[in-house]
Structures are given as C-alpha cells and as structure tokens.
C-alpha cells in the first residue's frame, strides 16, 4: 500500500511544473531581437549585391585576360597586377562588410 502511494506521489511530482518562469517581457524581447536581426540582414543586402556584382565582373575580366595572355604573353605582368589588385579589393570589402555586420549585432545585443 505504502509502495503504491509512493509511486503515485512520484508520478504526481514528475508532472508538476518546473519552478522557473520567463519574465513577462520575454515575448517582446524575442520579437525585438528578430526585428534587429532582420535590420542587419537588410543592411547587409546592398553589400552582398555589390560583392556579387564585382565577383561577376572579375570573372569576366579573368576570362578576357586569360584569352589575351594566350595571344600576347608580353602583357602578362600588367594584367596579373590589376587582377591581384581587384581580388585584394574584394577581399577588403568583404572583411569590412563582415566587421560592420558583427559590430551592428554586438551593438544591438548591448542595447
């Protein structure tokens, strides 16, 4: 009898709510976070488009350059220089963009 009662009491205890409650403003806070992340995504969009555009242009330039090199090997040095310059520029843009987005997220978290 005592055993059965103990089992019942354990069952009842197991189905009792955990003593932890989220604050009342929890839903508002999540909504705010979602909106801020959306803002960051929106902010990022022009950069993504710009970088994608530059990447396509670079692909075109490389194709033309390779074609030219095949015909005129003496122009190799000059074309290699500006291809490297463009690649580096894109790298720097991507780095700055990521840094800006990260800073924005961090600022939102602090706020």
Where on the chain is the footprint of another protein (CB under 8 A)?
A: 2, 5-7, 9-23, 26-27, 29-31, 33-34, 37
Write down the residue that tokens 């991507």 correspond to.
94
The answer to whether 79 and 65 have CB atoms below 8 angstroms apart is yes
Element holding 2 (H helix, E strand): helix 2-14
Measured on CA atoms in the order 31, 34, 40, 45, is the torsion positive or negative? negative
Nearest partner of 62 among 84, 40, 42, judged by Cα: 84
In whole angstroms, how close is the CB of 7 to another protein at the nearest point? Answer: 7
Q: Which is nearer to another protein, 5 or 74 (CB)?
A: 5
In whole angstroms, how close is the CB of 46 to another protein at the nearest point? Answer: 21
In whole angstroms, how close is the CB of 70 to another protein at the nearest point? Answer: 46
Q: Which is nearer to another protein, 13 or 70 (CB)?
A: 13
Q: Which is nearer to another protein, 22 or 71 (CB)?
A: 22
User: Can you tell me whether residue 99 is helix, strand or coil?
Assistant: helix
In whole angstroms, how close is the CB of 96 to another protein at the nearest point? Answer: 25
């Amino acid at each position: 009898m005592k055993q059965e009662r103990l089992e019942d009491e354990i069952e009842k205890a197991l189905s009792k709510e955990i003593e932890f409650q989220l604050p009342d403003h929890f839903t508002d806070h999540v909504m705010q976070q979602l909106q801020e992340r959306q803002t960051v995504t929106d902010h990022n969009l022009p950069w993504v488009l710009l970088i994608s555009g530059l990447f396509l242009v670079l692909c075109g330039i490389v194709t033309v350059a390779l074609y030219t090199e095949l015909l005129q090997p003496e122009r190799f040095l000059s074309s290699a220089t500006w291809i490297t310059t463009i690649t580096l520029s894109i790298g720097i843009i991507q780095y700055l963009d990521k840094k800006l987005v990260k800073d924005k997220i961090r600022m939102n978290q602090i706020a």
